[in-house]
Amino acid sequence: MANTRQDIVDHFKSQVDNVNGLNVYEWQVTPLMEAKLPAAIVRDTEGAMPTDKEMARRHHYLTIEVDLAASSSTSPSTVRELMASVLSAIGADKTLGGHAYDTTPLSATLMVSEGDQRVCGAQMVFQVKYITSLWAI
């Protein structure tokens, strides 16, 4: 059964996929091979549903997280560039193909992990606002 949340995640992923050289995954839970970096994992996590009492419809505030990772000694600067590119790619269509009425970036945080290679990661959090009928997502 088609649902708006799926359409939004599909469009969100495809917009992130526009970033050059980035491998995009949805809800990846198993370890990634280093050869797959730089990569992004897209997750639709919390979905708040305040009801619009004036009309028979439901507002949705969907949280979408984008985790980014790149390896090598220059990975922090690479990941900063990726963050800027992802932000630009999402900002190019904040309606996500007309399924949302707004998309807002909430935060962008960086961290570094040292294994046999230095890996830099970032987490970007977005809030997507959209409307459905009362009993739909």
Can you tell me which of 51, 77, 88, 117 binds other proteins, judged by CB under 8 A? 117
Q: Which is nearer to other proteins, 10 or 67 (CB)?
A: 67
CA distances from 79 to 26, 55, 66, 99 (A): 19, 43, 12, 29
Give the angle 106-69-44 at the CA atoms, nearest 5°.
Answer: 45
Find out whether 34 and 90 touch, Cβ atoms under 8 Å: no
Q: How many residues bind other proteins (CB under 8 A)?
A: 28
For position 30 contacting other proteins by CB under 8 A, the verdict is: yes
Candidate segments 32-40, 83-91, 100-108, 129-137, binder of other proteins by CB under 8 A: 32-40
Q: Compare residues 67 and 93 and give the one whose CB is closer to other proteins.
A: 67
- 55 is an interface residue for other proteins by CB under 8 A: no
Report CA Rg, the chain. 16
